[in-house]
Structure 1
Amino acid sequence: MNTKRTLLKTVAAAALASLAMGSAIAADITGAGATFPFPIYAKWAEAYKKDTGTGLNYQSIGSSGGIRQIRAKTVAFGATDAPVKGEDLDKDGMVQFPAIIGGTVPVFNLEGFGKGELRVTGPVLAEMFLGTISKWNDPKLTALNPGKNLPDQAITIVHRADGSGTTFNWTDYLSSVSPEWADKVGKGAAVKWPAPTSVGGKGNEGVAANVTRTKGSLGYVEYAYAKKNNISVLALQNKDGKFVMPGDDTFSAAAAGADWSKAPGMGISLVNQPGADAYPVVTASFILMYKDPADKAQSAEVLKFFDWAFKNGKTMASELDYVPLPDKLTAEIKSKVWTQIKN
């Protein structure tokens, strides 16, 4: 009898331990989407788990994938750098809010030239991505870079192969500076790339890897990926005519005058903003959530995570050259957006 009682206690203890473990796993937050903010989400998640014990399972699969996942209700939140239109948010019963601000940068691999050593204007950059400028020693490039011995080398365009908010941000910018790009290609999370010599890469990681190993290449990535992989970045002319380099100061200058209330779901464009110090290719990364979520406990955990990040993650964001949201904006998100979510 004692042996049987002991066995039953052992089985019960094991069952309780298993349930406890299952609860811990269930409590972990699930999200998927944009690769653009992944470096900061990963850093926030590590610190948040140390503080609270709750983990974040975030799949960095691209903005289009994140939208698909949240619509399929397989995650508690989706993440996209290409804001969802107001009518689509209403149709899906979702809310949208920005979580972080960053920049997309032109990266290149040209022997003998490092970060900021070559300059380009928006229209010339568009011609390079169109393929009408196909060599690094094109007269338009040499005119912008006097005294530089640019090689007679073909330009290989590296672009995203997957649906991407980074691509939306990049093509939104190219459309704003080039009527030809706007007419022939336009803006979108996925576009038909016109340059005859081009190669795709999956995620910001894939583009960074392809630029690193392809001589003469030109691509675009979120700035943290350029820094992490030590890839050269072009100096880009802004709307005020000044050549600027990416960084949290120039990203902040671009976002300084943003009016977040002017678009449904706060989905404004931050490309080609005025200001002497403004970087021209800046975007917010957005979070998508259901107003009436099926798993209200998970939804509540998502809001706790971002509330913590808004309060405690500013320094971490700046260290990775993202721009944390200003307190006034986070207060507006909490009062006008989060209050629509039934948890």
Structure 2
Amino acid sequence: MKISRFAQLGAVAAVASLALAGCASNEGGASSGGSSEAPAGASSLTGTLVGGGASSQEVAVQAWTQGLQTANPDLTIDYDPSGSGTGRESFQAGAVQFAGSDRAFKVDEITAGPFDGCADGSDLVELPTYISPIAVVFNLEGIDSLNLDATTLAKIFAGQITTWNDPAIAALNSGVSLPATAITPVHRSDKSGTTGNFTDYLGKTAPDVWTAGSVEEWPALGGEAAQGTSGVISAVEGGQGTIGYADASRAGNLGTVAIQVGSDFVSYSPEAAAAIVDASPEEEGRAATDIAIKLDRTSTEAGVYPIVLVSYLIGCAEYKDAATAELVKGFFTYAASEEGQDAAASAAGSAPISDTLREQVTTAIEAIK
């Protein structure tokens, strides 16, 4: 992980931000989410914080909400898992105070602005606090797992491979008795960061087949459409021969695909998801508080899972309303803390961020005002 652009913030800020992350219970002083010197259970955050966006991190947000509200009983956090695109639009319009998104705002989107809840001239705070593999899930009687390479997977979702016993699938799954069942690909009907990440993988690894590139709205390639993560999972569960993509926390008992990386097939796991993030650089040309990861989908390093979702918490570096800034800062602090990351991992199966990334994230949080 590249951290050179954060060095300019100085060792003092880094130490302060690490102390901020340690205050997981947000007790005591309000401006930073709390002081560990306050009595246990003391309430410091009060009011209502409203967010919305990525359904992928809904379970993690619920875990963060529960942990923070337990320590701050006068705090209410409302999060609408309306999808990444809706979340970003609502945040930009000032309809929510923070957004969850399966991608960061693009630089030209930030430049175009405006962001109604932010003070004039404010940078954005974009924090990669939720890291999870995107599972390719299927429902095929008697089969729990399959191996697929990028080209075959792209052909399935492009409608070029239409039955499960197709020779391309069979060649990758020696010894598996594949039926002649028709394949029904299921995709998101809504604008989705999960779709953006999934199609980014297809476009980077099988560009001759998947010509639509990285898109958050599914192109007109057939298949079945479903609303949100829950809708995709329900459609795959309710069919036979269905295949879809969703945050791995929602895979449940469905069959799952191991993806070819180099000469190996890698199953999704939090560890494999964290490995691809740590092996990828950050995007350039962004503010110090804007930590956007440029995922290397084509990596052949051992043990990495390339279909990964990095979901962001997004806020203002400076809010028009100081009380809003206090609540956002407290919530972001808990989400990035070791306690908050462990709570999300336990609830959602996500990969806790590394200590190096936590230092960057908490330094960015310290800048919120």
**Aligned positions of 1:247-326 closer than 5 A:** 247-260=269-282, 262=284, 264=286, 265-270=290-295, 271-311=297-337, 312-319=339-346, 320-326=348-354
Q: How many residues align?
A: 310
TM-score (norm 2): 0.79
Partner of 1:13: none
Instruction: Please state whether the residue corresponding to 2:52 is helix, strand or coil.
Output: strand
Partner of 1:142: 170
Instruction: Please state whether the residue corresponding to 1:266 is helix, strand or coil.
Output: coil
Partner of 1:204: 229
Q: Which has the larger radius of gyration?
A: 1
- 69, 73, 76: which is aligned to 2:90? 69
Matched, 1:29 2:49: yes
- 118, 132, 136: which is aligned to 1:102? 132
Q: Which moved more, 1:97-106 or 1:288-297?
A: 288-297
- Contact kept? 1:104, 1:221, Cα under 8 Å: yes
In the superposition, relative to structure 1, how do residues 340 and 90 fare at CA in structure 2: closer, same or farther (>3 Å)? farther
Cα displacement (A) at 1:267: 2.3
Matched, 1:221 2:242: no
In the superposition, relative to structure 1, how do residues 39 and 109 fare at CA in structure 2: closer, same or farther (>3 Å)? same
- Contact kept? 1:272, 1:281, Cα under 8 Å: no
- Contact kept? 1:94, 1:288, Cα under 8 Å: no
Instruction: Please state whether the residue corresponding to 2:185 is helix, strand or coil.
Output: strand
CA distance in 2, matches of 1:193, 1:177: 20
Q: Which has the higher relative contact order, 1 or 2, with Cα contacts under 8 A spaced 6 or more apart? A: 2
In the superposition, relative to structure 1, how do residues 289 and 332 fare at CA in structure 2: closer, same or farther (>3 Å)? same
- 36, 39, 60: which is aligned to 1:40? 60
CA distance in 1, matches of 2:298, 2:345: 22
CA distance in 2, matches of 1:208, 1:87: 33
1:313-341 deviation digits (Å, cap 9, x = unpaired) = 12223323211222222222333x34554
Cα displacement (A) at 1:106: 0.6
- Contact kept? 1:76, 1:302, Cα under 8 Å: yes
Instruction: Please state whether the residue corresponding to 2:96 is helix, strand or coil.
Output: coil
Cα displacement (A) at 1:179: 1.4
- Contact kept? 1:130, 1:181, Cα under 8 Å: yes
How much is the aligned-residue C-alpha RMSD, in angstroms?
A: 2.0
In the superposition, relative to structure 1, how do residues 208 and 331 fare at CA in structure 2: closer, same or farther (>3 Å)? same
- 123, 129, 150: which is aligned to 2:151? 123
1:97-120 deviation digits (Å, cap 9, x = unpaired) = 222111111100111101x2x111
Taking every aligned residue pair, what percent have the same amino acid on both sides? 28
Q: Which moved more, 1:146-155 or 1:94-103?
A: 94-103
Partner of 1:50: 70
Partner of 1:86: 107
In the superposition, relative to structure 1, how do residues 121 and 148 fare at CA in structure 2: closer, same or farther (>3 Å)? same
TM-score (norm 1): 0.85
CA distance in 2, matches of 1:63, 1:108: 24
Cα displacement (A) at 1:202: 0.8
One-letter identity of the residue aligned with 1:218: I
Structure 1 gaps of 5+ residues are 1-23
